[in-house]
Structure 1
Amino acid sequence: MTLKGLHDTIQGAFLWFDCHLWEFDINDRRYGLPHDDDFGFEKVYNATTTRLTKLRDSGITEFLYTYDMGDNWEHHVEVLKLFEMPKGARLPVFIDGKGRTPPEDVGGAPGFEMFLKAMADPSHEEHDNLLQWYGKPFDQDNIETAVVKALMNRLANMRRSKK
C-alpha cells in the first residue's frame, strides 16, 4: 500500500470526505500529492508512489499524518505489529474501533469539543444549528461499523483492480 492508500484508509475509517489538504511528516520529509509549483515551500514527496514497505524496511515505526490544515487534525501513526498478509486477503480491512470520529469541518479539536457539548444539551444555544448542520443526533458510541466496513471493502476492491 502507498501512503496515498493509507490516507484513503484513514479517510474511510473517520467517515471523512477527502476534501482538504493532507500530508504525512516522516523523518523530516513531507509526503502528499504532487503538484507543479512548490509555492516556495519545502519539497513534497509523492505519496502516490511511496510504499509502506519502504518505511518498514527503513525501520520507521511512527510518523505524523495531518488532515485539513485549517482544522489541523494531527494523527500520530504508530506501527504496533507487522504480520504476513494471508494469501488471498484483501486490505484494508476494518477490525475494530471505539468512539465516533469528529465530523468533517467541525472546527478542529476545539470545535469538536463545543460540538459535543452542544449536541448533548438541547438547551445549548448552538444545539439546533449544529443538529441541522450535522443532520441527525450525534451518538458518540455509534461508529457506524457497517459503513466503515463497506468503505474498507470498496478500497480493497479498488486496490485489487489496480493490480
Structure 2
Amino acid sequence: MPATVHTLKVTLRDVRPPVWRLLEVPSETTLGELSGALVWAMGWEGYHLHVFTADGTAYWPPGNDDWFGGYEDESRHRVGDVMPRSRMTMEWEYDMGDSWSHDIVVQSIAPAGPGATLPRCTDGGGACPPEDCGGAWGYAGLVDALGNAGHSRHGEAVEILGEGYDPSHFRPLERRRG
C-alpha cells in the first residue's frame, strides 16, 4: 500500500465546455505511469507521444533522446518528487500533432487509506474529445457541425462524435483503473 496519495485535478486547455478529471495516484507513481493513468482517465488510447513539463524541465518517455535533447527520462521521476506540495502545477501535452495540453494541479497529498485501489478517477466534467480530431480548434468545429444539420461537415461530425454526442456530459469511468 502506498504511504501517500496525490489528488490531481487535470484540466484540458482550450476546450469548451471545460473537460477535467480528478485523479488519485500513489505519490511514488512514475511520470510514465502517470501518463498511462491520464490517458485512461481522459478516455484516450495512448498511442501518441507525450511530454510533461514542470518548473522548466521536460520529462519525456525513454528512448526519445534522439529526437529531443535536454530532457529528463519520465520513468526515473516520481509524482511526489516532481510535485511535493499542494497547489504545485505541471503541464502534460498529449499528441504533438493535435497538441492536447493539460494543466495538472496538486489538490492534496494525504496518507493512503486502507484498501485503496489506485489510480482512480473520483470525479470529472465534460466529454473528452476523440483522438485525431484536429486539436481544440478541430474539435470545436466538429461540435459546431454536429449541432447544425445544414453544416457541410455535419455528416463527418456525426461519424466521428456520434449522433447524440453531448460535449458537456462526463461519463463516469470505472472508478479505478482496470
TM-score when normalising by structure 2: 0.75
SS at match of 1:81: strand
Whether the 8 Å contact between 1:33 and 1:44 is mirrored in structure 2 is: no
Q: Which runs of 5+ in 1 are unaligned?
A: 155-163
**What's 2:39 paired with?**
11
CA contact (8 A) 1:73 1:108 kept: yes
Considering fraction of residues, name the structure with more helix.
1
The equivalent residue for 1:149 is 174
Following TM superposition, by how much is the alpha carbon of 1:36 offset from its aligned partner in structure 2, in angstroms? 6.2
State the identity as a percent: 28
Unaligned runs of 5+ in 2: 1-28
More strand by share: 2
- What do you get for the CA RMSD once the two structures are aligned? 2.1
Matched ranges for 1:49-60 at <5 A: 49-57=76-84
Cross-structure match for 2:121: 94
Q: How does 1:116-131 map to 2 (within 5 A)?
A: 116-131=143-158
Q: Describe the shift of the 1:94–1:37 C-alpha distance in structure 2 as closer, same or farther (beyond 3 A).
A: closer
TM-score normalised over the length of structure 1: 0.82
Shift of 1:43: 2.4
**How many residues get paired?**
150
8 Å CA contact 2:32, 2:74 repeated in 1: yes
Q: Give deviations 1:80-105, integer Å, cap 9, x for gaps.
A: 22111102211111211111111111
Q: Displaced runs of 4+ in structure 1, greater than 4 A?
A: none
If asked which structure has higher relative contact order (CA below 8 Å, sep 6+), I would say 2
